[in-house]
Amino acid sequence: MELNSKTAVELAKLLDSGKVSSEDITRACLDRVESVDPQVHAFLSVDREDALSQARASDARRTEGKSRGPLEGIPLALKDIVAVQGQPLTCASRMLENFVSPYDATAVERLKNAGAILFGRLNMDEFAMGSSTENSAFNRTSNPWDLDRVPGGSSGGSAAAVAASETILSLGSDTGGSIRQPAAFCGTVGLKPTYGRISRYGLVAFASSLDQIGPFTRCVEDAALFLDATCAHDEKDSTSLPDQETDFLKKMGEHADRKWKIGVPKEFFAEGIDPEVRSSVESAIRYYEEQGCTVEEVSLPHSSYAVPVYYILATAEASSNLARYDGIRYGHRAESADNGIDLYYQSRGEGFGEEVKRRIMLGTYVLSSGYYDAYYLRAQKVRTLIRSDFDEAFAKVDCLIGPATPTVAFRAGEKTDDPLSMYLSDVYTISANLAGLPAMSIPCGISSEGCPIGMQIISPVLKEAEMLAVAKQFEDGHDFKGLTAPDRLQGEGAV
């Protein structure tokens, strides 16, 4: 197996043994990007020399006995929504096309302190608004499993880069499923931690009460390593949780032999789920029963309201957060405006794409006088009911298991003219964001068309270690660890 196709845990052992260097691994990833990304379009930009410089510095630290931990020397690519000092920060939007970040996000700072090699800006739906990475202003990312299909979104570039072996790990963000849905579509592990676990400082805001940073990885242990490096209180983020305990990798191992009480939400297996997705997830649940776990059907009666509640609250927050992009202070500025009002309207009209405009308008509408109580306030009340449903379920079980998505990856262009159909791609993932819960997707099958199928695990607040242990138990009994797309990407121009 090539170095760029290994897990971080495997590479850490090779690095410790001296058999390979960080520069070897980083070159392997960079060469892979150069070879296959003209087909996948996962990356918006790559600074090759900066990445190699980081790798050489990592190798020097290791030689001096100053390794910073298990992520030392491991390449990690980043969704273009998180700030990296001196690197582009475009959010895949014309509005920020020429913006270069003057500072590091807290998560980036911590990954650097852990010794990770941070490289590349990964494609995404503009300002994280989308479920297919077709809303990028610059490129449409393809699913490495089938280049005619989408990789999911909004973190589609992050998922595709790991699935195509262009990076060992990647960073994404999840507002309503934007890590778990593309992870399911691309056959990777994708994890959204508890709200407040990872600082949002330096993450460009979409919906501030929902956004969370998280990893895409090839195995569950790698996700634990990412959390160990990034989870801590941050005074620069008012929503950052205080007094956090980490050491997720160790705690995950302590739960390895536990017989779990697993809840299966009946609402997640209702009409609309693809039969192959249902079959794969049900097979996974039976596996847990065979391991001595207890499985119980539970109900989340208000989950049917999750999608409308999300698209009221998220768009309302987006409308507020994106008001700062006015063409005056920063961002795209229209050249032909004659006065301040025209400058504002034309700059936003030219800088934002259609989906972003749609969500700004919807969010402004639900916050407007006469509609605030009918929509926004009522949605907040239903959000409380959704959170209460989870509280009742977790009083009976340790975690919930169900499908991550209702279907496998759909074909490019299939849903672009039907926004409501696109929004339903996140029907199973949105509830966890509304409740602030940790959740993850892991591969659990391959469809008859050769597309990955993802299983979602949802746990109570701050129970990431237990959730990882549940995922690891399934991973250890199957062949999905280190799963990568069939290598149909044989070189530039070839499919």
- Catalytic residue positions? 79, 154, 178
Answer whether 438's CB lies under 8 Å from 467's CB.
yes
Q: In 244-397, where do the E strands start and end?
A: 261-265, 294-298
Reference 425, options 182, 190, 142; nearest CA is: 182
Q: In 305-423, where do the E strands start and end?
A: 399-403
Q: Is 191 helix (H, G, I), strand (E, B) or coil?
A: strand
Residue 52, Cβ density class (10 Å: 0-12 exposed, 13-18 middle, ≥19 buried): middle
Rg (Cα) of the chain, in Å, rounded?
21
CB burial readout 224-238, b (16+ within 10 A) else e: bbbbbbbbbebeebe
Q: Give 95-153 as a DSSP string.
A: GGTT-B-SS--HHHHHHHHTT-EEEEEE--SGGG--SSS---SS-PPPBTTBTTB---S
Identity at 452, one-letter amino acid code: P
In angstroms, the Cα distances linking 487 to 2, 89, 146, 494 are 12, 30, 11, 11
How many residues are there in the chain? 495
- The 8-class DSSP code of residue 389 comes to H
In angstroms, the Cα distances linking 170 to 180, 191, 233 are 13, 11, 22
In angstroms, the Cα distances linking 125 to 84, 132, 182, 354 are 19, 7, 12, 11
Reference 442, options 407, 466, 470, 465; nearest CA is: 470
- The 8-class DSSP code of residue 193 comes to P
Please, which residues bridge with residue 231 across strands?
Answer: 198
Answer whether 71's CB lies under 8 Å from 224's CB.
no
Please, which residues bridge with residue 170 across strands?
Answer: 77, 216
